[in-house]
Amino acid sequence: MQFSPYSLESSVSETDNDELLSSDWHCDPERSIGQELDLDPLMRLALISHKIVWRLENSGSGYATDGGFPFQVEAISELFDSTRVVVPCKTQPAQEGLSPLTGRDLSVVPLAVPAGQGFKRKLGFTAWLIRNGRVIWREVRKADAVHTPIPGDVGTIGMLFALLQRKPFFVRLCGNWFVPRTLAERFWKWAMERFAGGRNVMLATGGGAVSPSEKNPNIKWIFSTSLTAKQLSVGRPRQLPSNRGPRLIIACRQEEGKGTDVVIDSLPLIAEAFPDVTLEVVGDGSKLVALKRRAESLGVSERVIFHGKVEQSRVPELLKSADIFCYPTAASEGFPKVVIEALVSGLPVITTKVSVLPHLISSGCGLILDSTTPVALAEAIRRIGSDRELYSEMSARAIETAANYSLENWGHFIFRELRQSWGNISTDLNCPTIERI
């Protein structure tokens, strides 16, 4: 069976009668991934990533970071006996909005933070690798398996070292599989198509009716999430408010192509139908100051609240206070987790034909724009905001769609893929093997 993130079907042979790998598996929101799979410890994992962490003494590992990374790491760690997270670490005190980095027997191996951004980072990366490469090499050598999320220069080094040391490894490409725009992105895609198969498990973030690659069918789709089944179960269908105009929200990194500028530009048009329309902008980024100036120049600054970077725990609160999630992105997306967060809040989503988004919204939980323009977005908002029946139907479909995308389902799929590829592995160090599970 071909895996689809929307049906959660297994890629394991249909003749496999093992209940653990059955495609009708459903998680109990009160239990962990490890408990649900009833698995024994597998082996020692080295997880190598460019993700920056900060010291935080009261966390389980002594470190914290932002975004969905800590939640996904915790889910992955439950599939292994122990996990060593090899990542750049900043020495200054932790900033606000971070989540503790924790997991089953999880520890952090700190690397120096590569200097600079963009081209400057590339210039200095060789010197960084000379200083830090032996640490990564050592951790790969000590591990029984390696995981490297990409894109990212540090993860790429981990993948290459795993290949050189012939370690079983799995890669998750978190960018847009179909649109490799840079030389590095083309390299990652080539490497995944070249080496996927055997003990090399390659997962591309996204989704669709067909496999990611015609060249190598061993590459599989995987969705992305940071929400547990328990968190997904709290959503309730919403009703369109009758005493005010819609409250809009967009949550993402405020960078070029993410679409926040399009939402701001659409506000004067939306105000013609809904005079009290408002917009909340969640997230920091290099374009945030320019976006504030844009709102002022259009005379809509009083309608827009810029929250900047917020703690992950605040995002659901802000989504619940809104009515419509706007995401007219033109950027290269893999599987935007924030869209799942919006759906579980019962928000209809207005977005574009980028990557997995059309498949995600195809259940009827929102609208896909034919063009990424303020006029098209304003028309979509007017359509949803003036039809109470349509809004209620979309909200109900949003809750139903989001329920498929739990961390438990995500971890279960990774486990199935690893077991299928690594099931006969026996390490030289006499570590526990997947075969005995």
DSSP state of 197: B
Amino acid at 215: K
Integer CA distances (angstroms), 187 to 160, 177, 379, in order: 12, 12, 40
Q: Would you list the DSSP string of 255-268?
A: -TTSSHHHHHHHHH
Report the alpha-carbon angle 288-316-384, nearest 5. 80
| pLDDT recorded at residue 356 | 84
In b/e form, how buried is each residue of 143-157, taking b as 16+ CB within 10 angstroms? bbbbbbbbbbbbbbb
Q: What angle do CA 52, 175, 116 make, to 5 degrees?
A: 40
Closest CA to 38 of 54, 25, 47, 51: 25
pTM of the model: 0.77
- Stretches in the chain below the pLDDT threshold 50: 1-27, 29, 33, 35-41, 424-437
48 vs 68: CA distance, rounded Å: 16
Tokens of 403: 């329920």
Q: Give CA–CA dist 9/417, Å, rounded.
A: 12
Spatial distance between the Cα atoms of 334 and 424, rounded to a whole number of angstroms: 32
175-196: string of b/e by CB count within 10 Å (b at 16+)? bbbeebeeebbeebbebbbebb
